[in-house]
Structure 1
């Protein structure tokens, strides 16, 4: 077991390495022994425990799978009935698809006690808040009269979501390859479980096309999945929790993809088309100067009486209503009309008018409703939007093309008229021609109101290099404006905004109008991606987002008004239905794609090797989650999967489905407590602790230790959203001490953590901190600042602290960036 666990968990470990390890261990143990001597022997030994795999030959052009169905008999064909391409070449199948059925894995889940009881546990929720997709209105509608799960208990309903995207396992562009994994997730499971690769259900990897190109169609592969889902609509499994057979219902009700994947999945137009929005019938406008489609319809999302609809700055009055989506009936009619067109020219013309490209296989599902089951991908959308904003600030949207576009709409006339005739705006980015040592690009005039000058970019880089981030952020301080690759990941772009770093770096550089618009926009973006939303605040947030994007259209160039900007309107409008975007991030799926790409060791047949490894990984995950194998007893080190398995087996699973332990009890699992320094409590400390337990925690103190254990390193706490928050003491591994906000009746006050204390009360450890308390903070230019001199030291429980704050030390003051 442990060898297979190491093989599946270590990315890119070869089978020969496992064989060598097994052979070495077999020869070292007393002879004779039953240890397998190679990977193949070990796999043969556990093969009865592995999930079955189904292998199908596929057309090289992705027309069909050679399998028999009720409607078609293809298994004996030797050529494709659509394109007439041969099934084999030189006696070898040209393309093969490996499929891992869903039904056996669902049956195994219900047959495992500690996994099955998750579905019967009580959900922790607070009235008036939305934390996950399961708190949204759409999820509730599934169980109401007329819903797909009407009359079905939630514990016996299996709503699934589907993710697919192109993956290139080769790092070199000369050998590019695009294969498409199909991953299902169980929506009923808590967010910290369903977003792990183990509980995810990888059903197959669609092979790439000729010479590594994208598959021409996903339809034959999706039809295989749809056939199984239709057969599993209602099926019987043995429920270990109830110790009896039960009938469960399966439905595919959510799709998590980016825009190119949605286009391929639902037969929609691409992001550059005039009708590129998959959520409404809004038509963009092609700009011949920018050579792209712009969407300058932001004011349509405003109320009818909003003053911005008639503002003179836009050059026209907006009287159109909010763009409406296609109704399911109308969409079906248009897709059927597309399929009936006699030639490709007429089909292409209809596609440009409607944005639809015919019927697709998912329509076979009786409950399918595309508009209710897809939502904009917040990860790519917001990261791309922030990247475009950074490009505008650094001058990449101040070129000749942008100038001609603005002049064609009669915008910023005072800006263009102020330029001398010799000041020609050119694209500052280097061309893709042969590299030259001399830069021939013309300087960008500073009078462009949405970009920074060279001196301002240097100052912004200096400010960005001085920011002290916390462990929550993945950003390394650096020159993010002159060297944009320092923010190359999507997560770093999002965190640069949410941490207040972007606002801090450009403060005071833009004209007042543009700066006010930009900061208002950054503020609403922060509010959009919070993991917990209050229902009473959502309407105001939606209004603010629509207004901010209208102001962006007014004060910044139209080159920013692409499909990405337009999708933000739909994203915020669906918060109450779909829940916070935090529960629909694609980051976990991108990590799953990373695991898949690292398993592609055998070139040419990458897809099959991935599935052969995944079937072992799937079994190892099941053994760990069911606690039949405990890696912590064999290996040292921490693992999110192992920690999750220990939580699943705990008694708290019955009452806490979200796997969020009480933040007052985080110290119970700290193994190094016996090695920490012990010290006696002073009377003042004992009094403060006792009053906190009785008055704040409202517990009956049964036992109270008069000593504490000191820890000068760090402390981990799980917040109410299930995220781990890491605090650092002063001098820990050269990290700066965590700066936090503390409760104060006099005003806003911050403190710096010195070290941690662990106190035992009622046989449970409680984490405390000793702080350096700073003077009261004042707010200047939108940020809190204060002198970082200690007023006094103070003892405080960790539950009273805010999360560690991003800050900057400048000119004898400490500025807090992400607490406004």
Structure 2
């Protein structure tokens, strides 16, 4: 075959190449008159380890044939006597340009015409964007389309994947849309896009630019007593002790899973539709890589007409099956740096999500009186008589030491004798879930399990329990610091400003009287409401708004908070999560001493400093132990200051955050800021409104390819891997 001629002279491991240049064994590519031409050839060398090129006797399969064609293109110059670019190298750079700078398909078509008109004939430049995609098809990592029931009760997957299976086994709903023309291909009502995880992990080992970093977690410098990476946390260390064979192989992969939903349409009539991507983080990589967009893997794109709730479980099935294979048997993978094959295994350490999605992943409902997923019903809120909402007022004292005098303080309305100190083990939680009768998935006949909201808050058995090691983990699901911090800031700030979002309303004062606490805040017999000491007067609010308007923060610290200040309404609106993060940790401790009494201001400042210390990139265990105890005392102080309506679940959860840092390491590796920014980027890739998930999937595999190829570009080509930071100056 003509197709295989260049390949037959290319040894599998690259020992010899005969193409007019000379081979440099240290760089693993051909050196000709201009070295820039062969960046594409080097890409093929790293990926080509999975194909056998010597002694080819049979016809190659479709995937291998596409790859062999790329090898030919790596030898073909862009135009006669061109020494700077090959056909393949120029095409990959064009695709990188398109994705790096957001060029549209039509714009790239026009650019191809313009470049083609100035190139000498005959040239090999493709004429359209579609032709460019066809040229690099052999480099793409594939994805699968799996039909799903429109009621989210099952996937048409594995034994149910037969196209002749027309209805769901559970709800009886039709699998396909009604077609007017029976000759046309049948179209499923709902389709899950699945991007296999294994080949994407293998590619990290097959490239010489990333393979050494996959062992960074094992070779990094460790400072005794310092927690600066998840590997320093107790969860990672305990896992290594339980599974020493996994720990002994430095190439085994540690993963984290994250998810969140977004609405792809701006049209108010389509706001019910949402898309839920699943993300995978590779914790083997160093901090400068593992949380960056180009190294985050998106294995699933889940379509939903509304929040998936417990039915998210159904769509995780392909990923869970693959994770079980990666744990039980592993897959043979080639390590480029060691030039040898090894059996790669992987483990999922935890999930990352905001609090509503926490309930979907864990199976524990995050609503109601037992909504805390850490306490699991040991600490319960109560419903306020007048406010009507669940309050966790007074529950902080159960975490105090047994002999602490605050337990007997009558200002709380009662004495506290209970103690809660334990986190339930995974084995205990799994065994408890097995005793509950859960109903099938789907939105047709959704029913709560027996005793739901009375003895437990479990809605479903999480799919993650099928992983053999999941019950040995202590964390399993992380509380998102970003989400909690944002809600804590809103409660504090709006209560201080005494605006429409305040937690101190007339019903809150009636609840104080009902609970016989804070009698200075009770409503007077004539109906007047006394001024709370923690609420600012109008003059002080005006003073605060003026200060915010004149505030100048360092570049990149936050958005322009001055634009969020509405002086006429005496409030701040439109602040993003990161603005709340900056305001809580940096600005509230500055403004509070001048506006509030010292006792109140000190308690608020201590709360702000807790989050500031918690978000440090380097932590120490003894500091975290002290912070855990201090957080309980801070909440106890606030319970003597603010009304019970202030203490919703978000004011209870900070008690558990210091322990999660001891188990899992710094919050920067597991908060949602990274994934919220990535979701914004994904949302911008939706160009075809008629097929949202398909548009996202095609753009993702294209960006995945260009990010990989850009590792091999010359240093003077701007890529995501070498672009300057916000305030850096080019040399």
| TM-score range normalised by the length of the shorter chain | 0.7 to 0.9
Pick one of 154, 158, 165 that aligns with 2:260.
Answer: 165
1:386 matched to 2:489: yes
Higher helix share: 2
> What per-residue deviation string (whole Å, max 9, x for no partner) do you get for residues 293-320 of structure 1?
1112111112122222222221221111
Q: Residues 213 and 300 of structure 1: is their aligned pair in 2 closer, same or farther, counting only changes over 3 Å?
A: closer
- The answer (yes or no) to whether the contact 2:96–2:710 under 8 Å persists in 1 is no
- The answer (yes or no) to whether the contact 2:259–2:277 under 8 Å persists in 1 is yes
- Residue in 2 aligned with 1:493? 580
- Residue in 2 aligned with 1:602? 688
- Residue in 2 aligned with 1:20? 110
- Could you say what secondary structure the match of 1:217 adopts? helix
Counterparts of 1:391 and 1:503 in 2: how far apart (Å)? Answer: 16
- Residue in 1 aligned with 2:66? none
Counterparts of 1:538 and 1:220 in 2: how far apart (Å)? Answer: 38
- Residue in 2 aligned with 1:583? 669
Unaligned runs of 5+ in 2: 1-91, 180-186
Pick one of 459, 471, 474 that aligns with 2:558.
Answer: 474
The within-5 A match list for 1:602-621 is 602-621=688-707
1:554 matched to 2:640: yes
Say which is worse superposed, 610-619 or 322-331, in terms of deviation.
322-331
1:451 matched to 2:535: yes
> What per-residue deviation string (whole Å, max 9, x for no partner) do you get for residues 497-554 of structure 1?
222x112223233233322222222222222222211233222222211111111122
> What per-residue deviation string (whole Å, max 9, x for no partner) do you get for residues 785-819 of structure 1?
xxxxxxxxxxxxxxxxxxxxxxxxxxxxxxxxxxx
Pick one of 94, 107, 110 that aligns with 2:189.
Answer: 94
- Residue in 2 aligned with 1:236? 332
- Could you say what secondary structure the match of 1:474 adopts? coil
Q: Residues 345 and 189 of structure 1: is their aligned pair in 2 closer, same or farther, counting only changes over 3 Å?
A: closer
- Residue in 1 aligned with 2:121? 31
1:150 matched to 2:238: no
- The answer (yes or no) to whether the contact 1:134–1:188 under 8 Å persists in 2 is no
Counterparts of 1:467 and 1:311 in 2: how far apart (Å)? Answer: 42
Counterparts of 2:522 and 2:97 in 1: how far apart (Å)? Answer: 64
- Residue in 2 aligned with 1:440? none
- Residue in 2 aligned with 1:518? 604
Pick one of 278, 281, 305 that aligns with 2:403.
Answer: 305
Q: Residues 537 and 492 of structure 1: is their aligned pair in 2 closer, same or farther, counting only changes over 3 Å?
A: same
1:355 matched to 2:457: yes
Deviation of 1:214 (Å):
4.5
Q: Residues 150 and 142 of structure 1: is their aligned pair in 2 closer, same or farther, counting only changes over 3 Å?
A: farther
Deviation of 1:185 (Å):
0.7
- Residue in 2 aligned with 1:197? 293
- Residue in 2 aligned with 1:462? 546
- The answer (yes or no) to whether the contact 1:338–1:357 under 8 Å persists in 2 is no
Counterparts of 1:28 and 1:617 in 2: how far apart (Å)? Answer: 28
Q: Residues 216 and 326 of structure 1: is their aligned pair in 2 closer, same or farther, counting only changes over 3 Å?
A: closer
Deviation of 1:671 (Å):
4.2
Deviation of 1:292 (Å):
1.6
Deviation of 1:157 (Å):
1.4
Counterparts of 1:561 and 1:670 in 2: how far apart (Å)? Answer: 47
Deviation of 1:141 (Å):
1.8
- Could you say what secondary structure the match of 1:641 adopts? coil
- Could you say what secondary structure the match of 1:36 adopts? coil
Deviation of 1:216 (Å):
6.7
1:78 matched to 2:166: yes
1:175 matched to 2:270: yes
- Residue in 2 aligned with 1:690? none
Q: Residues 215 and 299 of structure 1: is their aligned pair in 2 closer, same or farther, counting only changes over 3 Å?
A: closer
The within-5 A match list for 1:41-56 is 41-56=131-146
- Residue in 2 aligned with 1:4? 95
Counterparts of 2:702 and 2:161 in 1: how far apart (Å)? Answer: 32
Q: Residues 347 and 477 of structure 1: is their aligned pair in 2 closer, same or farther, counting only changes over 3 Å?
A: closer
- The answer (yes or no) to whether the contact 2:230–2:669 under 8 Å persists in 1 is yes
- Could you say what secondary structure the match of 2:257 adopts? strand
Higher strand share: 1
1:221 matched to 2:315: yes
Q: Residues 166 and 484 of structure 1: is their aligned pair in 2 closer, same or farther, counting only changes over 3 Å?
A: farther
Deviation of 1:350 (Å):
2.8
Deviation of 1:47 (Å):
0.3
Say which is worse superposed, 615-624 or 279-288, in terms of deviation.
279-288
> What per-residue deviation string (whole Å, max 9, x for no partner) do you get for residues 273-301 of structure 1?
11111111322112232222111211111
- Could you say what secondary structure the match of 1:350 adopts? coil
Q: Residues 379 and 552 of structure 1: is their aligned pair in 2 closer, same or farther, counting only changes over 3 Å?
A: same
- The answer (yes or no) to whether the contact 1:179–1:214 under 8 Å persists in 2 is no
Counterparts of 2:320 and 2:437 in 1: how far apart (Å)? Answer: 21
Deviation of 1:379 (Å):
0.6
- Residue in 1 aligned with 2:84? none
Pick one of 358, 376, 379 that aligns with 2:479.
Answer: 376
- The answer (yes or no) to whether the contact 2:213–2:284 under 8 Å persists in 1 is no
The within-5 A match list for 1:775-786 is none
The within-5 A match list for 1:375-454 is 375-395=478-498, 396-416=502-522, 419=524, 421-423=526-528, 445=530, 447-454=531-538
- The answer (yes or no) to whether the contact 2:433–2:458 under 8 Å persists in 1 is yes
> What per-residue deviation string (whole Å, max 9, x for no partner) do you get for residues 637-670 of structure 1?
xx653249x9xxxxxxxxxxxxxxxxxxxx9x96
1:527 matched to 2:633: no
- Could you say what secondary structure the match of 1:202 adopts? strand
Counterparts of 1:197 and 1:509 in 2: how far apart (Å)? Answer: 42
Counterparts of 2:199 and 2:447 in 1: how far apart (Å)? Answer: 46
> What per-residue deviation string (whole Å, max 9, x for no partner) do you get for residues 366-419 of structure 1?
0113642222110111111111111111112221121122222112212325x4
- The answer (yes or no) to whether the contact 1:207–1:215 under 8 Å persists in 2 is no
Q: Give the aligned length.
A: 614
- Residue in 1 aligned with 2:418? 320
> What per-residue deviation string (whole Å, max 9, x for no partner) do you get for residues 612-637 of structure 1?
01001011111123xx124x5345xx
Counterparts of 1:154 and 1:556 in 2: how far apart (Å)? Answer: 53
Counterparts of 2:560 and 2:168 in 1: how far apart (Å)? Answer: 53
- The answer (yes or no) to whether the contact 1:98–1:205 under 8 Å persists in 2 is yes
Counterparts of 2:247 and 2:319 in 1: how far apart (Å)? Answer: 23
Deviation of 1:326 (Å):
3.8
1:331 matched to 2:429: yes
Counterparts of 2:555 and 2:454 in 1: how far apart (Å)? Answer: 47
Counterparts of 1:293 and 1:231 in 2: how far apart (Å)? Answer: 43
The within-5 A match list for 1:211-290 is 214=308, 217-233=311-327, 234-270=330-366, 272-281=367-376, 282-290=379-387
Deviation of 1:228 (Å):
1.2
Counterparts of 2:720 and 2:406 in 1: how far apart (Å)? Answer: 49
- Residue in 2 aligned with 1:434? none
Q: Residues 620 and 200 of structure 1: is their aligned pair in 2 closer, same or farther, counting only changes over 3 Å?
A: same
TM-score (norm 2): 0.79
TM-score (norm 1): 0.71
